[in-house]
Chain A
Amino acid sequence: MSIVQSPEGFATADQPSVSSERWRARLRRLRPGLVLAWATVAIAVAWATLPWLFTSYSPVDGVPRQRRLPPGALHWFGTDELGRDLYARVVHGAVHTLSGALISVAVGLAMGTLIGLIAGSVERRLDDAIMRVIDVMLAVPALLLSLSIIIILGFGTVNAAIAVGVASIASFARLARSEVVRVRRMDYVEAAFGSGGRFFAVLWRHVLPNSLTAVLALAALQFGHAVLAISTLGFLGYGAPPPTPEWGLLISEGRNYISTAWWLTVFPGLVVVAVVLAANRIGQSLVRRTL
């Protein structure tokens, strides 16, 4: 959620306390690409939360007579093989894809940070043991891990998201651990431990907050990655069951018709690219600020 709450130079731009000159200076520094990225994410979030504002068509109930109509005034993105409005399906699909990405980032972030924090804080041998377990997680092919998790939990967007999240735990854990190790070496943390601060208290008050910035930046980048990973699983047939209009599934189902109905593949694909691009752009701006 940090992405939505801390837009760089955007939310702060219209704060009244800023003098008009500084305001203009900020505006000049404001990069149009980043603004566009925030706008894209905002639209996607609006689609996910208030889809009925954007379309009056049903995403699951079509008119079979109006199947595979090319894009036009009535159907902006055209219609699919069952006569469903593709634009409506994309809009209503946003909630599945975006919430899936959030869940997967949350899983990876929470579990990974926890493991990394513990590994980085405990004694050497335990740390080694934990990191070997992480190695094992990395050594088992991520594909096998993700697919097995989905099969065990059952097919669906949420389960696919969890699978993607679990597969990302290892990289979060590695980063979190190295950050914790770095922060622990800092003088004031050493001092806090030295001055008799209780282990967990120091961990909670000093180590975690200071390690978290880099991890959160990774989370922002991971968001875009998760959107892609979830749609890839949908494409391989391990995502949401039909008729859920999850974006990966839309591309996956549309690809069969590509030579006669290109719009079924192209439009959902462009939407995915736009949202992931925006998420990555924002993630990078956060990374740049933290480094």
Chain B
Amino acid sequence: MARYILTRLLQAVFVLWAAFTVSFILLQALPGDEILIKFENPDLGLSKQQIADIRLAYGADVPLHQQYLFSLGRVLSGQLGNSIQRGVPVIDAIAANLPSTLRLTVLGFVTAASLALVIAFLATLTPFAFLRSLLRGLPSLFISLPVFWLGIVLIQVFSFQLKLIPVIGAGPWEGLVLPVLALAVPISAPLAQVLVRSIDEVETQGFVAVARAKGASRRWVLWRHVFRNAVPPTLTIGGVLFGELLAGAVVTETVFGLNGLGRLTEQAVNLQDAAILQAIVLIAALGFVLVNLSVDLVMPILDPRLRKAFGGAS
């Protein structure tokens, strides 16, 4: 067990280092660099000589391996540096954007999971067949909606036409209603599909019939067994989706004019803001590693079959 965890931790460190290196290589491959983008901008009206001086001051033209070692060393010493583009410490830029993205993402995921649960149970428990099949079709529709389009339509209808929910200058929670909804709807679809499938499987399995024969209500059986069977795959999907949610946040943030990690990433790539990008990559990789690690560690606890396999492996 200890050896297993140690191996996983080493692997996690490797993934972090490799992600950092990949991002460094990607940045080098992009045309131009951040000094060029920032200071060739005619807004500053700098002369050729002044720009040359600035490049020298920032060490923009030292050999690549030196730049790599420098930025790796900086990260290892726990410093994230300053963003040249924004003129703020990277840590401030992240601190300003991370909480809103996390809030959006966590709420989005929770809403998606609840929505999926509601759809799944209604789709199996609703009395009328046509209603059931209609509900079963909902996830397919949800997954087909472009988030940005959904967002635009939601804002126009609910905020500007019906004036129900403000999006600008609203309270921190009020303003999140529409973005969370836009984010949650497509995410809920695969979760709902997994749930519906597990419910179907459980219903056809022998032990359910036995349990029901023993007098358990259908509802009770469903709750007890579906959870057992549906939670592990939901968690797995959740682990993958969480990363996707962060990417999905960029669209929601753009449409709703929110700022967050998604937008920060998009702008940082566009402006080749190296310091910010490296920080984001490290955070995202850390998040990925942690989510996967916990899924791997939690799954055996939830699923007895896996527990056995796990025990055998270690």
Contact = CB atoms under 8 A, between A and B. Distances in A.
Given A140-B23, A255-B152, A273-B145, A151 B265 contact: no
Most buried by B among A235, A252, A258, A272: A235
A277 B266 CA distance: 28
Interface in A110-142: 132-133, 135-136, 138-142
Interface residues of B, number: 48
A230 to B, nearest CB: 10
A141 B281 contact: yes
B30 A151 contact: yes
Contacts of B285: 136, 139-140
B160 interface: yes
A147 interface: yes
Interface stretch (B47-55, B116-124, B242-250, B298-306): B242-250
Given A232-B148, A273-B144, A136 B266 contact: no
Contact of B247 (A33, A142, A258): A142
B179 interface: no
Contact of B149 (A143, A251, A280): A251
B146 A228 contact: yes
Interface in B1-50: 11, 14-16, 18-19, 22-23, 26-27, 29-31
Interface in A18-59: 33
A139 B288 contact: yes
B162 to A, nearest CB: 14
B236 to A, nearest CB: 11
Nearest to A146: B247
Contacts of B262: 143
Contact of A273 (B16, B31, B146, B156): B146
Given A269-B146, A280-B143, A152 B29 contact: yes
Interface size class of A (residues with CB under 8 A): 35 or more
A281 B262 CA distance: 30
A27 to B, nearest CB: 18
B90 interface: no
Contacts of B195: none
A139 B250 contact: no
B280 A139 contact: no
Nearest to A33: B137
A1 interface: no
Interface string A238-263: 00000000001001100100110010
A144 B26 contact: yes
Interface string B253-297: 010000000100110011000000100110011001100100000
B211 interface: no
B23 A143 contact: no
Given A144-B265, A235-B251, A224 B143 contact: yes
Interface in A263-278: 265-266, 269, 272-273, 276-277
B104 interface: no
A138 B30 CA distance: 21
A4 interface: no
A284 interface: yes
A166 to B, nearest CB: 12
Contacts of B22: 136, 140
Given A132-B15, A273-B146, A281-B140, A236 B250 contact: yes
Given A141-B281, A232-B251, A272-B146, A277 B11 contact: no
A231 interface: yes
A66 interface: no
A133 B22 CA distance: 11
Contact of B141 (A132, A147, A277): A277
Contacts of B30: 148, 151-152
Contact of B152 (A135, A138, A141, A265): A265
A269 B15 contact: no
Interface of B: 11, 14-16, 18-19, 22-23, 26-27, 29-31, 137, 140-141, 143-149, 152-153, 156, 160, 240, 243-244, 246-247, 250-251, 254, 262, 265-266, 269-270, 277, 280-281, 284-285, 288-289, 292
- Minimum-distance CB pairs A-B, first 7: A276-B144, A139-B285, A277-B144, A269-B149, A136-B18, A139-B288, A143-B247
Interface of A: 33, 132-133, 135-136, 138-145, 147-148, 151-152, 171, 224, 228, 231-232, 235-236, 248, 251-252, 255, 258-259, 262, 265-266, 269, 272-273, 276-277, 280-281, 284
6 contacts: A136-B18, A139-B289, A142-B247, A143-B262, A276-B144, A284-B140
